[in-house]
A and B are shown apart, each in its own frame.
Chain A
Amino acid sequence: MTAGTTGEMHPAPDAPDTDVLKRQLQRANRVARWKALGLVAPLLIFLLVTFVVPIFSMLTRSVHSPVFGDIFVETAQVIGEWDGTGLPDETIYAALVADMRQARADRTIGQAATRLNYDVPGTRSLLTRSARRADRLEAPYSVSLPALDDRWADRTIWAAIKRVSSPVTATFYLAALDRQFDADGSIVLAPEDQRLYVRLFWRTLLVSALVTVLCLLLGFPIAYLMAHLPPARANLLMILVLLPFWTSLLVRTTAWIAILQTEGVLNDVFVWLGIVSDDGRVQLIYNQIGTIIAMTHILLPFTVLPLYAVMQGIPPSLTRAAISLGATPARAFTRVYLPLTTPGIGAGAVFVFILAVGYYITPALVGGRTGQLISNFIAFHMQESLNWGLAAALGAVLLAAVLLLYWLYDRLVGVDNMRLG
C-alpha cells in the first residue's frame, strides 16, 4: 500500500505522521530481524563449516573420481576419439602403453588399476600385469598388447577405460544399486554373486521397521501405565526409562553381550530352567537377533517419551464418556483412546525409524555377519576396502532416505516441537 492511498482512505491532518510511524516500525522490524539473525549466525556458520560442508564434500566422491584420468593422462586425452564401436586405433593403444610405463615408473599404476577394477571387477591384475611387461612391448601396440593378454582385444575393457578416464562417473551409484555398465554402455544388473546392496538396503529397512514396531509395542503399555498413575509414582517409573536413556550406548551394548552370549546370563537361566540342554545353548548374539534385541532396548525410550507426553494430555473423561454411552472398554479404547494417541505414535515411530536406519555401533559389535546394516558396509568401504566412491554413494542413498524421513517427521510433528526427557 502506497502513502497516497493511505492518505485518501484516512484523510486526517496528521497523515504524514502515520507515514513516519510506519516507516519507523518497518525499520524497527528490520533491526529486530537482523538482530535475531545475528544471534543465530555464529552457530549457523559453525555448523556449515564443521558439519554441512564436510558431508557434502564427502558425497561428491560418489560422482567425482578423477584418479584414473590423472594418472593415464595421454589415454584420457585421446580416448574420446574412439566412438565405442569396434576396437580403438593404434594411437590410443600407444597412449595407453606410454601411460602404463609412466604409471609404473611413478608407482601409481596400482591406484589406476583399482579404479578400473571398480568398473569391471577382475581387471586390476590385467592392468598391473600388462604394465609390468609394458617396457618390453613393441609397436604396433594394437597387435602386441592383445598378444600379451587377449582381453585387450575385447571391446568391454576399452569401454571401461573410456568411462573411467572421465572424472565424473555414475559407477558408484550403479554399484550401490547392484547395477553396472555393459560393453555398450547400457546399465545392466550385476552378476548374481555380486548383488549385495539392494538386499542390504532391504535388510536395513526391515530390521529398522521391526525394531520400530517392537519399540511401539513395548513402549505403549508402559507409557499408558505412567500416564494413568499419580504423578509421584509416574516420575519414579520414569527414572527406569530415563536411566537407560542416559547410559552410554557402549555400556548397554556390553551388557547385552554379557546377557545374550552362549555362555551368558540368559542361556544360563535357560539351562537352569531346563528349557535347553547345556550343549544346546541358543545363539542369541552375533546375528540378527542380537542386533534387534539390543537396538530395541536402546531405542525404546524414544517411543516412550513422546507417547507419555501425548497420553498425559488426553482427558480420562473421554473414555469414560464412551463407556457410559454403551461402548465396551475395548471399543472405547480402540475407537476413542487409540486415535488420540496417534500423534505420539507417529512421532515416536518416525524418530526411532530414522535412528535405526543409520545405526552403526550396535550392529558392528553384536550383529555378527547377518546383523550388519548399511552403515556397517559404509564403514567397511571407508576403512578396509578403501573404495571411498562406493562408500560415498551408499552414504548418499542412506542420507537421502533419512532426509526424506526427517522431512516427514517435520510435517508430522514439527522439529520445533521436539522435546528431550
Chain B
Amino acid sequence: MALPLYATPAEKAWHYGFRILCGLIFFFLIAPLLVIVPLSFNAEPYFTFTPGMLALEAEAFSLRWYEDIVANDQWLHSIRNSFTIGIAATLLATTLGTLAALGLTSPAMPYRRAIMALLISPMIVPIIITATGMYFFYSWAGLAQTHLGIILAHTALGIPFVVITVTATLSGYDQTLTRAALSLGAPPHVAFFKVTMPIILPGIVSGGLFAFVTSFDEVVVVLFMAGFEERTIPRQMWAGIREQISPTILAVATALVLVSIALLTAVEMLRRRGERLRQGR
C-alpha cells in the first residue's frame, strides 16, 4: 500500500490520515496493557501516577507490591492452584479434544456438523449460565469446592479451543501418510504416535495453550464453585478489585501480561512451524 510518486495532495492526506487513524486504534488496543506496567511500580498505594513518578524520581518507584505478592500466602496459594488446575484441565481437554478431532476429520463421521456445534457450545453459552448450572449439579455430585470439580469444569470450557485448532490442523494433514504407515504394517496406535502426531503436534500444543489460558483466566465458575482452598489467581484479583483496590493487583496484572506474551510467542512459533511443515519446506 505504498504511496505512488504521482499521488495528488488529497490522496496523500487520505493516505496519512488513514495511517494516523489506524495508529490511534492500535494505541487503544495496547495502551491499557502499557499503563499498568509503570503503575505497578508505584511507591504509593494508589492506582494513579504520582507527581514523583511523572518527574521520574527514583523514590517514587518501588517493588513493594511485588514483595507483597511473594510475602502473601493467599497469593502464593492461588498461584499454585491456578497452575495445578490449569495444567490438569489442559491435559484432559487436549487428550479428549484431539481424539474427537481425529474422529471429526474422518470422512465417515456421521452428524459431523451437529456434533461440532455441540462441542463448540461451551465457548458460546454465556458463562453465567454454565457456572450456575455447574454449581447446582456439581454440588449435588459432591464435587463443588473440590479441585476435581473445577478441573472438570475448566476442561469443558477449554475443549472448544482444542477441537477448533486440532481439526483445523488435521484438515491440512495428508491422510495418505497414515494410510502408508498402516499398509506397511504399523498398528493404528503406532501409526498415530509415529506419523500423525509429530506432524499435527503444533496444532495440538497451541490448542492446549488456548485451553490453559481459558482455565488460567476463568473466574466465574471459580466464583460459584470454589471454596477458600480452591482460590485461583483471577478469583484473588476479583476480590482485590471488588474489595480493596491496591497496586498489588497491578503487580499481578503485569506478571500476567508477561505470561501472555510468553504464551503468544509460543503459539506464533508453533503456527509458523505448522505452516512450514504444511508447505513442505
Chain A interface residues toward B at CB < 8 A: 29, 32-33, 35-40, 42-44, 46-47, 50-59, 61, 218, 221-222, 225, 228-229, 237, 239-244, 246-259, 261, 263-265, 268, 297, 300-301, 354, 357-361, 365, 375, 378-379, 382-383, 391-392, 395, 398-399, 402-403, 406, 410, 414-416, 418-421
Contact = CB atoms under 8 A, between A and B. Distances in A.
Nearest to B206: A421
Q: How large is the interface on B (under 10, 10 to 19, 20 to 34, 35 or more residues)?
A: 35 or more
Residue among A249, A253, A416 with most chain B CB within 10 A? A416
B116 A240 contact: no
Contacts of A44: 100, 115, 118-119
Interface stretch (B56-64, B68-76, B173-181, B257-265): B257-265
Q: Top 6 A-B pairs ranked by shortest CB distance?
A: A358-B126, A39-B103, A54-B137, A255-B32, A32-B108, A58-B133
Q: What DSSP secondary structure best describes chain A's contact surface?
A: helix
12 contacts: A42-B100, A44-B115, A54-B136, A54-B137, A54-B138, A55-B130, A243-B261, A246-B267, A254-B36, A254-B250, A258-B39, A259-B35
A225 B132 contact: no
Interface in B152-200: 152-153, 155-156, 159, 161, 163-165, 167-168
A383 B115 CA distance: 33
B18 to A, nearest CB: 7
B41 interface: no
A85 B151 CA distance: 55
A249 B30 contact: no
A421 to B, nearest CB: 6
Given A47-B119, A222-B22, A416 B112 contact: yes
Contacts of A58: 129, 132-133, 136-137
Contacts of B116: 415-416
A247 B29 CA distance: 11
B96 interface: yes
Contacts of A414: 113
Contacts of A420: 161, 164-165, 210
A51 B130 contact: yes
A257 B48 CA distance: 10
Contact of B155 (A50, A247, A254): A50
B55 to A, nearest CB: 14
B220 A40 contact: no
Residue among A221, A255, A263 with most chain B CB within 10 A? A255
A421 B271 contact: yes
A365 B136 contact: no
